[in-house]
Amino acid sequence: MKQSQLFYRTLKEFPKDEEAISAKMLVRAGYIDKLMAGVYQFLPLGLRVLQKIEQIIREEMNAVGGQEILMPALQPREIWEKTGRWDMDVLFRLKGAGEKDLALGPTHEETVTPLAQKIIFSYKDLPKAVYQIQTKFRNEPRAKSGLLRGREFRMKDLYSFHINQKDLDQYYEKVEQAYEKIWERLGLDKITVKTYASGGTFSKYSHEYQTLCATGEDTIYLCEKCHVAVNKELINEQKTCPECGNKKLVEKKAIEVGNIFKLGTKFSNAFNFKFVDEKNQEQPIIMGCYGLGPSRAMGTLAEVFNDDKGIIWPENVSPFKAHLINLKKDVKDAENLYNQLIKEGIDVLFDDREDASAGQKLSEADLIGITHRLVVSEKTGDKIEYKKRGEKEVKLMSDKEIIKLLK
Amino acid sequence: MKQSQLFYRTLKEFPKDEEAISAKMLVRAGYIDKLMAGVYQFLPLGLRVLQKIEQIIREEMNAVGGQEILMPALQPREIWEKTGRWDMDVLFRLKGAGEKDLALGPTHEETVTPLAQKIIFSYKDLPKAVYQIQTKFRNEPRAKSGLLRGREFRMKDLYSFHINQKDLDQYYEKVEQAYEKIWERLGLDKITVKTYASGGTFSKYSHEYQTLCATGEDTIYLCEKCHVAVNKELINEQKTCPECGNKKLVEKKAIEVGNIFKLGTKFSNAFNFKFVDEKNQEQPIIMGCYGLGPSRAMGTLAEVFNDDKGIIWPENVSPFKAHLINLKKDVKDAENLYNQLIKEGIDVLFDDREDASAGQKLSEADLIGITHRLVVSEKTGDKIEYKKRGEKEVKLMSDKEIIKLLK
């Protein structure tokens, strides 16, 4: 993509109406635009990052047998009354044709449970797992944290259905492993901590995934031996590490990037959703749910990976793999390299602008934060100046070396 | 994908609460599920078709320089008042935190115009084109046609911005060509007709793309010489073909699958969106918009491509490329072929079920309508029985021939 054509604009200063550093960075660098509190539009740069995050999540959900579906945002009042959640604080309520009461889905247990009920009848139909990656809505009273707490946000929810607790427990562990892979692929693994939370009536614990971050909203209590934590709510019941019994838990700030929960029969009971077992007896379906918000993950990445110059994207979610910057008067050499890179299938943003200064181009590249920076200038002759965002070392490399590095 | 694992269920009969044949077919075959009138969920089979349609549209939008963005569904009242559309019949209105009036976007001129205004200032920034593929909402009083008229639906809208009418006219023609390519790739080209409609204040005409279909909601007047049509509204002003003057226009029923419109300055004026020209003079931005609904396109395909046995998907949007059906007692041979196909990168649904009869498997395959059917049975020995959905001829082919055909 040529930067002269890109639909974006960076701001000279951080926007004054944002509090979170991630929102300041993402708005200033031209990734997102605020339509109103908690509601953002994704510009081409931002949508590329979001789609890369969603694709990583999709692949890992498919790998644990999740089947992708798409459920509606518009939902009838009746299903929310069945589960006793129609009066939920953050539910957006509205009227449809014929004055019918509707909700905008903040989560989809109320639709997925009766949907699965039309498909699952027998133990032979189990287990099953389906997931959605789509827009959800919460009428947050305070939405001051950019993508970290949206009124409209992107969400992945996986729902699983089982014949018994043991089967759920096994699947739950598989999803835990899938989540670990996702954090690794997003570059968040070293700072994301499985956090014990209370489990409701069905299970002793549920789990949150918390990314350590000084500006995070949540407080967790970290066991530095096990690299797991206990959340604020649970710490009052339990003062020790649930894995090793360690009593020295360290208070930390964090952002919740995922949570997984053994629902048990909570929703299947609400909808009277049963299956017939091998002995032809009706049994309640056991459910699990597994949430992870791609837009919040994007906000988290920008919140934790930045410096005073801008964002530092992990390579897997960088909007482009490389940022090629021309500083020569004649754009031809850089254009040749650009065409070579494109031919090799390398995803590159090419700063071909004639009306921007060298300083402007370089500081904008730092702000945008694409992983690999390539500069073509008079002083480097035939070579290309290579630098990785967030590192100091600059190398002179040939076309061939660059292609080898980036392929 | 093994069918024994697939999250779906076919119905023995057509659902009684659907009127459109496409909705009857799609619900019965396990593609979609109705949550309420005009609001459907997409099961794995259905989402695969929808995603294939969206990817075709995405590729053709990228090919005409469109840049993908994502805009919010939740929108503040103010922007809808600026354009005088807050009172629009089909607008879903709701209250956000602090009793703020919000709308759910049925279309996005009200957000894209002020967004582009933050990015485009000079003639040097023009032309630009951005598009979105996302969920939109219309509070339809009657939503009885399944995916053909949803209250919640998937929509692609491309918006373009120009320095003058000439530039818009040229781009509009490029998009017309992109639309023709989309119809071709969707298998709709031979039955989809560019239809002249009135153009508002800025342009003599706008254009609809109408797919000929006896059960369509719209009436058009077809020029059989030019393969273009005039819509019902325009026929009162103009009784002849706008391209050749032919007076013998034939009344036909059709489904509107796309529409493109020269907006001119309607929305740029509402937001006072101008650019500075080469002479440093302020000029109004000239806009175009280009709609195409992927979910309606999916409904249209099922409405026009079916027989008494079920759906007949065009190959490019078939949920899987091939449907492999095992009729042998031992699943091993079919399983070997399945693994070979997967290894070759062929997208295949494998009916590996042990508890379904041959008749049940074959009639379900016809209902689901995957393009290439492969049957492994005792009577065909080492060979595979090949049949294309919608055709009568059956061939016996070897593994190698099958792979060659499908790759």
What single string gives the DSSP state of each residue in A123-187?
GGG-SEEEEEEEEEE---S---SGGGS-SEEEEEEEEEEESSHHHHHHHHHHHHHHHHHHHHHHT
* Domains along the sequence of chain A with CATH: 21-307 (3.30.930.10), 320-406 (3.40.50.800)
Whether the pLDDT of residue B40 is over 90: the answer is yes
Q: What is the pLDDT of residue B200?
A: 84
Task: Indicate the residue of A7, A47, A151 with minimum beta-carbon distance to B96.
Answer: A151
What are the helix (H) ranges across B305-368? 332-343, 358-368
Whether the pLDDT of residue B142 is over 90: the answer is no
Q: What digits encode the pLDDT tens for the residues A139-194? A: 999 899 999 999 999 999 999 999 999 999 999 999 999 999 999 999 999 999 99
Q: What digits encode the pLDDT tens for the residues A276-329? A: 999 999 999 999 999 999 999 999 999 999 999 999 999 999 999 999 999 999
Q: What is the pLDDT of residue B98?
A: 87
State which residue of chain A sits closest to B295, comparing Cα positions. Answer: A70
Strands B282-284 and B228-231: unpaired
CB B51 within 8 A of CB B101: no
Q: Rg of chain A over CA atoms, in angstroms?
A: 24
Q: What is the pLDDT of residue A142?
A: 87
Q: What digits encode the pLDDT tens for the residues B346-392? A: 999 999 999 999 999 999 999 999 999 999 999 988 999 999 999 99
Instruction: State how far the Cα of B338 lies from the Cα of B320, in Å rounded to an integer.
Output: 13
Say yes or no for a CB contact (<8 Å) between B94 and A94: yes
Mean pLDDT of A115-125: 98
What is the ipTM, given to two decimal places?
Answer: 0.97
Mean pLDDT of A232-253: 94
- Model confidence at A33, pLDDT cuts 50, 70, 90, reads very high
Whether the pLDDT of residue B61 is over 90: the answer is yes
- In chain B, which residues have their Cβ closer than 8 Å to the Cβ of A7? 67, 69, 116, 119, 128, 130
Tokens of B146: 């399944």
Mean pLDDT, chain A, whole residue set: 97
Q: What is the pLDDT of residue A388?
A: 98
Say yes or no for a CB contact (<8 Å) between A69 and B44: yes
* Residue B386 identity (one-letter amino acid): Y
The burial of B242, by beta-carbon neighbours within 10 Å (0-12 exposed, 13-18 middle, 19 or more buried), is given as middle
Whether the pLDDT of residue B231 is over 90: the answer is yes
Which are the contacts of A190, defined by CB distance < 8 A and separation ≥ 6? none
Mean pLDDT of A35-52: 98
Q: What is the pLDDT of residue A68?
A: 98
Say yes or no for a CB contact (<8 Å) between A67 and B7: yes
Mean pLDDT of A11-30: 97
State which residue of chain A sits closest to B112, comparing Cα positions. Answer: A41
Instruction: State how far the Cα of B231 lies from the Cα of B194, in Å rounded to an integer.
Output: 10
Q: What is the pLDDT of residue A350?
A: 98
Say yes or no for a CB contact (<8 Å) between A72 and B40: yes
- Model confidence at A91, pLDDT cuts 50, 70, 90, reads very high
CB atoms within 10 A of CB A194: 19
Say yes or no for a CB contact (<8 Å) between A94 and B97: no
Instruction: Determine the residue among A139, A159, A349 to mutate to test chain B binding: the one whose Cβ has the most chain B Cβ atoms within 10 Å.
Output: A139
CB B172 within 8 A of CB B260: yes
Q: What is the pLDDT of residue B300?
A: 98
State which residue of chain A sits closest to B76, comparing Cα positions. Answer: A36
CA distance, residue B373 to nearest chain A CA (Å): 23
Instruction: Determine the residue among B36, B51, B124 to mutate to test chain A binding: the one whose Cβ has the most chain A Cβ atoms within 10 Å.
Output: B36
Q: What is the pLDDT of residue A161?
A: 98
Which are the contacts of B221, defined by CB distance < 8 A and separation ≥ 6? B229, B230, B231, B232, B235, B249, B250, B251, B252
Helices B165-186 and B44-63: angle between axes, nearest 10 degrees? 140
Q: Rg of chain B over CA atoms, in angstroms?
A: 24
Whether the pLDDT of residue B254 is over 90: the answer is yes
Say yes or no for a CB contact (<8 Å) between B5 and A65: yes
Q: What is the pLDDT of residue A173?
A: 98
Q: What digits encode the pLDDT tens for the residues B294-352? A: 999 999 999 999 999 999 999 999 999 999 999 999 999 999 999 999 999 999 999 99
Whether the pLDDT of residue B150 is over 90: the answer is yes
Quote the percentage of chain A above a pLDDT of 70: 100
Q: What is the pLDDT of residue B201?
A: 86
Chain-centroid distance of CA A307 in Å reads: 21
Task: Indicate the residue of A41, A70, A97 with minimum beta-carbon distance to B115.
Answer: A41
Which are the contacts of B35, defined by CB distance < 8 A and separation ≥ 6? A71, A72, A74, A75, A76, A111, B41
Strands B128-137 and B274-276: unpaired
Whether the pLDDT of residue A63 is over 90: the answer is yes
Strands B322-326 and B310-311: unpaired
- Select from A148, A129, A123, A139 the least CA-distant residue to A19: A148
